[in-house]
Chain A
């Protein structure tokens, strides 16, 4: 890894450039305000943006979103697109938790409808949705069924009674990436995936009950079915142990073959393979399996949430009206088409801690959102609520249709644990009107709100830079964590 000082040039209010230097093939661009840049400057993530720019076939820029922080190989918050012939795919550019993502459901309920039952609801969700380290679901898949999940994604869950066909329309890529090949997934990964479908996981994964607190764009909010005062549910989870194992297997495989590449890597963590090589194709086929598993997982978590709401509130599903607004992934590599030098070109876009943010009119959007743009779901840190944004043409032109994915850490888990010693975090959250329950003893302290960047600051940069626009802000009233 090169150690010379990195040059950072301010382009405008919201963007900073890392000019091409040394082996960089393209410049780096970081979306950040001055204040966020101050935090970013304290870790190695700008260096990682420059390192990604060394990879062959990278197109235009190595990009980073305002919630960026140090990640394995690529920074978290990193976006990079690669030419399909000359470019590479890197497991470190997707992340360990393949298709970690968010799903937001709206309801017909208001805060008044649930305030008396809120505690009961949070307890019921906590008791009935498996969460925490190594948690297992009620369903143990046969190998044959697991392979179907890996190929069919959320569609498998719907077909087996976990949800409605219309849920698939409101899921990125319909909840399934084509060309997923379970034969490219190791026995170990399959083993880890067998009993974890329908489980939340641990760490920063959560299920939150939220209330729409502020509307910024009334027309788009109406198209998304969002109203002030409405109760909603946000789920943040991914592909569990299966995704981790796939990333781990392919990283080890690519590290083993690092010496065979015809270019030098500035960092071994950027281990990668040409997109048109066997290793590259195999990784994408296995990654697609994990992505599909994650969509099936979130679909099942949503179905379980619908059941728990109905049972606890003693209302019919129709009265509750829990409808999927949208589901987005924020750790993925996908083949998508973009305008480049006057023509449409297919590229492999890595989004690692970044959300797709497609503009109005894009054919990938469901019919009901086609005229306004794609819903972009941005979860905050524990208890601080979420934003709903909408994708823009500018994002399509500048950031390969991408925006931020969350608040972004400013403090490691161990530091958060250290500085919160002696504090009763659940009580502090309760004082702020948020009921929190967590499985892990240390989770609440690790996930301390101060450990994250201010979500409002992050979203403001994305909004001002025009790579997504604010639609609504939701505040948390109940939260379960792993």
Chain B
């Protein structure tokens, strides 16, 4: 998965969106619950992987599909975000593709003249 953002905040917002968009059809997901997450990492790419692992756990561990994302603070080693959505309901939501894990393989975050680029490979 390759994600872009004009700012680092936007990159992390778009990262969560891309993950959940790959997982499920988000059109019918409403906002009923909110989760605040704070994630740390050794460097920016480690932080990127750990943040996406956290997002994935909210699905695989808690069964949540999340559609609204706000990154309130971020530096090289810590990100705090608020994610909103609702519990998966097989009657209303359609799963597109299972994502089993977020891997460290070729994971990277780079600042380019156009903004920020993040890459990650999922185990599906």
Contacts and interface: CB of A to CB of B under 8 A. Distances in A.
User: Do A and B come together as binding partners?
Assistant: yes
A256 interface: yes
B124 A413 contact: yes
B119 to A, nearest CB: 14
B88 to A, nearest CB: 7
A133 B101 CA distance: 13
Interface in B96-114: 96-98, 100-101, 103-105
B21 interface: no
Nearest to A70: B105
Nearest to B98: A133
A134 interface: yes
A240 to B, nearest CB: 10
A248 interface: yes
Interface residues of A, number: 25
Contacts of B101: 72, 96, 244, 247-248
Contact of A252 (B53, B100, B123): B53
A269 interface: yes
Contacts of A440: 95, 98
Contacts of A271: 104
A192 B105 contact: no
A269 B97 contact: no
B65 to A, nearest CB: 11
Interface string A31-65: 00000000000000000000000000000000000
B103 A188 contact: no
A248 B103 CA distance: 9
Contacts of B94: 441
B61 A188 contact: yes
A72 B123 CA distance: 8
A248 B53 CA distance: 9
A317 interface: no
A234 interface: no
Contacts of B61: 188, 191-192, 241, 245
Interface of B: 42, 46, 50, 53, 57, 60-61, 63, 88, 94-98, 100-101, 103-105, 123-124
Interface of A: 72, 96, 133-134, 188, 191-192, 202-203, 241, 244-245, 247-248, 251-252, 255-256, 268-269, 271, 413, 440-442
